[in-house]
Every structure is written in structure tokens, then in C-alpha cells.
């Protein structure tokens, strides 16, 4: 049986899946480029499982709760566990004159509160947000490990975030 979640291997979802598989060794992790892609193709994965964080929010603004009810017929919640996210940071590259900020939708509201002038650009993962930020952004909320140490980054805030992870059976 497969455990479907967000990839690549550097994501918090991948780390949470690895942790879960330690106590469920029959599962094999399958990575996907986005949760949207997973939700759109659930029928292809019947009989497998889905791992999603409770803080997940879709690019359309749907929360974990909304998706939980929307997919009641397609998904059965079978387990849940706590697993801490990799250390999270709000970083700025002050040498950039733009206001572009890359962020996963779940962190967009937090970014708006902290940098109200930011031009928010949504990304499917914090890893993608870091990559886009390095290309042309000024701000990012991402995993600290995703950022290089050689750049003159200003770290505005750091967070340690415990997360609730949901495991669903795909019907």
C-alpha cells in the first residue's frame, strides 16, 4: 500500500511520511508535486492512503476542514499524529527592490500580517517558495534549511511549529 503526500523529499510532508512509515513499515511513500494534484486524482489511488497536514490550505483558499467535508465520500480519516515542522523562517533579501514574497498558501495570512506591503505569490510547497524567492523574491516564509547561508539574508522571525498530520484511506 502507498502513502501519498507532497514531495519532493525535502518537504515537511516527506519527513512526516518517513516518521509515520517507521511504525507502519508496509507503507511505501509516493510523492506528488502538489496536494491539488492528489485531490484531483484520488480515484487513481483507491485503496492507498493520503497524508496531509491539518494546516494545509489549497491555492483556492480551501482549508483542511473544508476539504475534509468536501471529500467525505472519497476519503476516510483513519489516523492522526503530531510531528514538528522543520524550523520555519521569514527571510528577506534586502538587496532586492521589489516587494515580491513567496509562500505556501497556509502561511500567506501570516506573511500578510508581518509584511503588509508584500506582493504575495503562492507556491505548492515551502521548498518551491524558497526556490522562487532565490530567483527573484524579496521575502519568503520557508524552512530554514532550504535557504543558502552565503547570501546576505535578513531573518525577521523563526518559528518551531508542531503540526497535526492526518492519514486518510482513499476509498
Q: In degrees, to the nearest 5, what angle opens at C-alpha 144 toward C-alphas 150 and 51?
A: 145
The residue count for the chain: 171
CATH 3.90.1300.10 corresponds to the domain 2-85+162-170: no
Q: Which residue has the cell 523563526?
A: 158
What pLDDT score was predicted for residue 32? 96
Residue 42 is predicted with a pLDDT of 98
Contact call for residues 93 and 124 (beta carbons, < 8 A): no
Rounded distance between C-alpha atoms, residue 17 and residue 159, angstroms: 21
Give the whole-angstrom CA distance, residue 40 versus residue 24. 26
Q: Which pLDDT belongs to residue 57?
A: 87
Q: Are 161 and 102 in contact (CB under 8 A)?
A: no
pLDDT in tens, 44-67: 999 999 999 999 988 888 999 999
Residue 62 has a pLDDT of 92
pLDDT value of residue 59: 83
Four-way CATH pick for 88-159: 3.30.1490.20, 3.40.710.10, 3.40.190.10, 3.30.70.20: 3.40.190.10
Half-sphere exposure of 118 toward its Cβ, with a 13 Å CA cutoff?
27
The pTM is what?
0.83
pLDDT of residue 148: 95
The pLDDT value recorded for residue 16 is 98
Provide CATH 3.40.190.10 ranges for the chain: 2-85+162-170, 88-159
The helix (H) or strand (E) run that includes residue 142 is strand 139-143
CB 43 within 8 A of CB 127: no
Phi, psi of 152 (to 5 degrees): -80, 65
Residues lower than pLDDT 70 in the chain: none
Residue-level pLDDT at 122: 95
Amino acid at each position: 500500500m502507498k502513502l501519498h503526500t507532497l514531495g519532493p523529499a525535502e518537504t515537511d510532508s516527506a519527513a512526516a511520511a518517513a516518521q509515520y512509515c517507521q511504525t507502519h513499515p508496509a507503507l511505501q511513500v509516493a510523492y506528488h508535486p502538489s496536494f491539488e494534484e492528489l485531490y484531483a486524482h484520488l480515484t487513481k489511488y483507491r485503496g492507498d492512503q493520503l497524508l496531509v497536514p491539518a494546516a494545509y490550505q489549497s491555492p483556492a483558499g480551501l482549508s483542511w476542514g473544508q476539504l475534509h467535508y468536501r471529500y467525505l465520500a472519497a476519503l476516510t480519516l483513519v489516523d492522526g499524529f503530531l510531528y514538528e515542522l522543520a524550523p520555519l523562517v521569514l527571510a528577506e533579501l534586502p538587496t532586492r527592490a521589489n516587494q515580491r514574497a513567496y509562500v505556501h498558501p497556509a502561511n500567506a495570512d501570516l506573511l500578510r500580517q508581518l509584511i503588509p506591503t508584500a506582493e504575495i505569490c503562492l507556491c505548492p510547497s515551502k521548498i518551491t517558495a524558497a526556490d522562487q524567492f532565490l530567483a527573484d523574491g524579496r521575502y519568503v516564509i520557508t524552512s530554514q534549511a532550504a535557504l543558502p547561508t552565503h547570501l546576505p539574508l535578513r531573518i525577521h522571525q523563526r518559528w518551531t511549529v508542531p503540526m497535526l498530520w492526518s492519514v486518510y484511506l482513499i476509498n
